[in-house]
Amino acid sequence: MEEHTIAENNPVTRKKRSWKKIILIIIGVIIITLVAALLFVNGYINRSLPQLEGTIELEGLQDEVTVITDEHGVPHIRASNEQDLYMTQGYMQAQNRIFQMELSRRQASGTLSEVVGAAAVDQDKYFRTLGLRRAAEDSYEIYTDEGKQVLQWFADGVNAYIDEAKESNSLPVEFTLMGAEPAPWTPIDSLTIGKFMAFDLGGHWERQAFNYYVLNEFEEEKAYELFPDYPENRPTIIGEEEVDVVASFEKAVIPHAFNGSNNWVVSGEKTENGMPLLADDPHLGLATPSIWLQMHLETEDMNVSGVIFAGVPGIILGHNDQIAWGVTNTGPDVQQLYLEKRNPDNPNEFLFEDEWEEATIIDEPIHVKDGETVEYQVVETRHGPIVSEFAEESGKDTVMSLRWTALEPTTELQAILDINRATNWEEFETGLEKFLVPAQNFVFASKDGIIAYKANGRIPIYENGEDALLPLPGWEAEYEWKDYIPYDELPRVVNPEKGYIATANNKVVGDDYPYHISNVWAQPYRYERIAEMIEASDSLTVEDMMDIQMDQTNLQAREFVPLFLEQLQDKSLTENETTALSLLDDWNFVDDVDATQPLIFHHWMDEIEVILYEEIPDGIMGLFGSRAQTTDELLRNAINGNESIWIEENEGLENVLTSSLEATIAKLTEEYGQDMTEWAWGDYHKVQFDHPLSGIHPVLAYFFNNEDPMPVGGSSVTPMAAAYNSETGIVGHGASWRFVIDTNDMNTGYHIVGPGQEGHFRSDWYHNQMDDWVNGDYHATELDVEEGKSLQFVPK
């Protein structure tokens, strides 16, 4: 006992106890601090969650407005007048998606550098050059007073939210991470976002630049093989000086080549209940938040439900209580590059009809966060902005300008307001006349049994469609656009005998149509499969429409796999290559997530392109839009015994097929092992809805992406659209919204909005539709919903 007491009183022992106590105190303080910090951060983040219940005072309201947010996160806005309706829509969009809205207007306006820094300067230069915001400002001037008023009411609602969020320090955490706050919203911001969607679905100037490049770099016969249509009149390069296409467009922002859609409408003659069915799934970028926001807007005079781009009033796609509609991209030639001859003695003058014309010089200073302002000027000729010099010099005295219908004043919002109120085909078609860009294939169905189709928009008249294959001489009046296809002569179908109308970015007119629409159409496989499934039944249901949207049958593989097998029959192959061909021979041609064959086939097609186009620089391949269609045609011609220079220079079709197969099997074996039966399409082909800030740091990716990439079936050539990055396998483009409706019940539409409705990563509706997107689980949205979280807006 005495020894124990002596040990306890030992100075060394007491010192150890003291340090132990200090360490425990320090640890305790750290834990308390971390918990407090966590609680603070948690509270701060949650403070920006949208308010869905209770009461909000909104200055400018005339009466009370009720917003019921249903179990799927869809806000149903009921107002007694349009002013209150659109103000509330603006507020609700802002509290759901204000960060997305901010980035959208900045990207389209070319002002990202103000919040991102120098990394965005080149992108800003490009969008300043295009002038989407300038075009929006010009468009605003031709809107009716009603249209301007709706835009202002919507902006008032957005600004009410912004002011409250700033005052209460409850802006979304993304603004804190960027060190920025949103400026007041304006009507021009909404119109600029609309112009950006026209950009995303714009046209084919990049293919003109590509055609120009190959004609300069290769023999004519070889170059013409890569043209979308083999030209009869053989257009030639114009001008004494060549524009450096690689340098000119190296930093250009090129929309994804897969931007398109599926839609179809079926008459009552082919449905189980005798009433029309409509389906639509636009194919755009897949990201967090979704490009679409689902909403329901109701007044005494209007009851419309569907989706809209965040930052824009109204409903662009969906249905009301009488009609339903959907779109795909028509893809017409609405963009034209012009070669411009610059005056050697005055760089701001360009030749037209033997005279020098003064260009318009527009100052577009680019303010850069933590950097100096970039003094930037845009040069516009009679045709449009000079786009070949936004990054650097492209030619001494010859440059390229861009004429594009979207850079002219247009009135899409006016059309949206009209079609939201339309009750029949005549009213709907009249409203569409104001929807000028982008040109779209609208399908229509109504409860009176009518089904219809209209390709709307401004489509230039080309006297010779081959003129749209290449840049045109800007100094000759004969190559000017003279007019647009008259609205009454645009492609149109009402109640066809076959009982359905479908479009999938395929060719929509026959050879007897009197006007040129486009030289570039999507591969036909999605359309052919959709038509095949519709024609297989005369008792179609809503569930059948959903099955078609989720169908993963690959008609490209159905065409080419038997042909490839025939070409390689009895050829000397390795054991692994023979096994691969045997697997393909047993394939049902479905791009199933668990199947081995899609992994082999799609990599094989990719490797074929690597071999065929090895001579084309990476910077130019980005301009080679719709090249898969060109590849298919080269292969068909070779298989049918027609010579192809691109194939013959690679030692013939057999060598192209065997070399690409060898590369495919070697790559897949290294990645997935020797046992091919263990390979699965979903091991490679996965969907990831990336948040724009997730690429900055893994921690942000953890919070904002929320889910690991999910294995998914389908591909770019199946009705279930899922286009992927060939280097990573990540699906970044596809059906951004899926929609089906039975006109026998106009109260209910069926939707999938991937990955979810909300933009706040703590929301229950942030990524709740990712599984639904992969598996095809639709949710019903009703016009007469009564249950949900109820929020009252009252006059302030």
Same domain, 54 and 14: no
Same domain, 68 and 213: yes
Same domain, 183 and 260: yes
Tell me whether the omega of the peptide bond preceding residue 755 falls within 30 degrees of 0, making it cis. Answer: yes
Give the pLDDT of residue 370. Answer: 95
For residue 518, indicate whether it is catalytic: no
Q: Which of 644, 660, 679 is the last residue of a domain?
A: 679
Contact 65, 792 (CB under 8 A): yes
Same domain, 540 and 567: no
Beta-bridge mates of residue 362: 378
Q: Which of 679, 700, 725 is the last residue of a domain?
A: 679
The band of 23, judged by pLDDT with boundaries at 50, 70 and 90, is low
Q: Encoding tokens for residue 660?
A: 């690409």
Flag whether pLDDT at 389 surpasses 80. Answer: no
**Which string of DSSP letters, residue by residue, matches 358-376?**
EPEEEE--B--TTSPPB--
Flag whether pLDDT at 31 surpasses 70. Answer: no
H or E stretch at 128? helix 121-130
Give the pLDDT of residue 746. Answer: 98
With the CA atoms of 103, 108, 114 and 116 taken in that order, what torsion angle do they form, in degrees rounded to the nearest 10? 50
Q: Which of 654, 679, 704 is the last residue of a domain?
A: 679
Q: Which residues contact 551 (CB under 8 A, 6 or more apart)?
A: 529, 530, 533, 718, 719, 720
Flag whether pLDDT at 35 surpasses 50. Answer: no
Query: Is 523 strand, coil or helix?
Result: coil
Query: pLDDT tens-digit profile of 412-439?
Result: 999 999 999 999 999 999 999 999 999 9
| Radius of gyration of the chain, Cα coordinates, nearest whole angstrom | 29
Same domain, 238 and 293: yes
Query: Is 481 strand, coil or helix?
Result: coil
Q: Encoding tokens for residue 74?
A: 């869809």
Q: Encoding tokens for residue 758?
A: 């909300």
Residue 360 lies in a domain: no
Flag whether pLDDT at 11 surpasses 60. Answer: no
Task: Give me the mean pLDDT over the 539-567 stretch.
Answer: 98
Q: Which residues contact 359 (CB under 8 A, 6 or more apart)?
A: 348, 349, 350, 379, 380, 381, 386
Residue 359 lies in a domain: no
State the sign of the Cα–Cα–Cα–Cα dihedral 524, 525, 528, 530: negative
| Entry pTM | 0.93
Give the pLDDT of residue 236. Answer: 54
C-alpha to C-alpha distance for 427 and 454, rounded to whole angstroms: 13
Task: Compute the mean pLDDT over every residue in the chain, rounded to the nearest whole number.
Answer: 92
**Percent of the chain predicted with pLDDT > 90:** 84
DSSP state of 182: P
Give the pLDDT of residue 26. Answer: 58
Total of domains in the chain: 3
Same domain, 65 and 174: yes
Flag whether pLDDT at 406 surpasses 60. Answer: yes
Flag whether pLDDT at 657 surpasses 70. Answer: yes
Q: Encoding tokens for residue 473?
A: 């001489």
Query: Is 732 strand, coil or helix?
Result: strand
The band of 720, judged by pLDDT with boundaries at 50, 70 and 90, is very high
Same domain, 650 and 512: no
Report which residue type is found at 527: Y
Task: Give me the mean pLDDT over the 392-410 stretch.
Answer: 84
What are φ and ψ of residue 773, in 5° steps? -65, -45
Which of 261, 267, 305, 736 is the catalytic position? 261
Contact 691, 287 (CB under 8 A): yes
Q: Which residues contact 640 (CB under 8 A, 6 or more apart)?
A: none
Give the pLDDT of residue 619. Answer: 87
Q: Give the residue numbers spanning the domain of 636.
A: 555-589+596-679
The band of 39, judged by pLDDT with boundaries at 50, 70 and 90, is very low
Flag whether pLDDT at 4 surpasses 90. Answer: no
Same domain, 22 and 92: no
Give the pLDDT of residue 45. Answer: 87
CATH code for position 311: 3.60.20.10
Instruction: Could you list the residues known to form a binding site for Ca(2+), using ranges.
Output: 333
Cα dist from 29 to 25, 26, 33, 37, 540, whole Å: 6, 5, 6, 12, 67
State the sign of the Cα–Cα–Cα–Cα dihedral 509, 514, 518, 520: positive
Contact 608, 661 (CB under 8 A): no
Cα dist from 643 to 155, 221, 560, 624, 653, whole Å: 60, 11, 18, 22, 10
H or E stretch at 138? helix 132-140
Query: Is 779 strand, coil or helix?
Result: strand
Same domain, 128 and 263: yes
Q: Which residues contact 232 (CB under 8 A, 6 or more apart)?
A: 466
Task: Give me the mean pLDDT over the 290-310 stretch.
Answer: 98
Contact 280, 260 (CB under 8 A): no
C-alpha to C-alpha distance for 484 and 488, rounded to whole angstroms: 11
Task: Give me the mean pLDDT over the 528-552 stretch.
Answer: 98
The band of 378, judged by pLDDT with boundaries at 50, 70 and 90, is very high
What are φ and ψ of residue 37, in 5° steps? -65, -40
Task: Give me the mean pLDDT over the 744-773 stretch.
Answer: 97
Residue 650 lies in a domain: yes
Residue 728 lies in a domain: no
Residue 336 lies in a domain: yes
The band of 41, judged by pLDDT with boundaries at 50, 70 and 90, is low
Flag whether pLDDT at 6 surpasses 70. Answer: no
Flag whether pLDDT at 46 surpasses 50. Answer: yes
Q: What does DSSP say about strands 730-735 and 686-687: parallel, antiparallel, or unpaired?
A: parallel
Instruction: Could you list the residues known to form a binding site, using ranges.
Output: 333
State the sign of the Cα–Cα–Cα–Cα dihedral 636, 637, 640, 643: negative
Flag whether pLDDT at 24 surpasses 70. Answer: no
**Percent of the chain predicted with pLDDT > 70:** 92
Beta-bridge mates of residue 320: 304
Task: Give me the mean pLDDT over the 462-482 stretch.
Answer: 93
Flag whether pLDDT at 215 surpasses 80. Answer: yes
Same domain, 547 and 559: no
Flag whether pLDDT at 36 surpasses 70. Answer: no
Least confident of 23-27, 31-35, 667-671: 31-35
- The CA-to-CA distance between both ends of the chain, in Å, stands at 80
Residue 698 lies in a domain: no
Beta-bridge mates of residue 306: 295, 318
Same domain, 84 and 17: no
Flag whether pLDDT at 40 surpasses 60. Answer: no
**Which string of DSSP letters, residue by residue, matches 82-102?**
HHHHHHHHHHHHHHHHHHHHH
Strand segments (E) across 252-345:
260-266, 277-285, 292-299, 302-309, 317-320, 323-329, 335-343
Query: pLDDT tens-digit profile of 721-737?
Result: 999 999 999 999 999 99
Residue 725 lies in a domain: no
Least confident of 231-235, 481-485, 522-526, 775-779: 231-235
Residue 429 lies in a domain: yes
Same domain, 209 and 315: yes
Query: pLDDT tens-digit profile of 608-639?
Result: 999 999 999 998 999 998 899 999 999 999 99
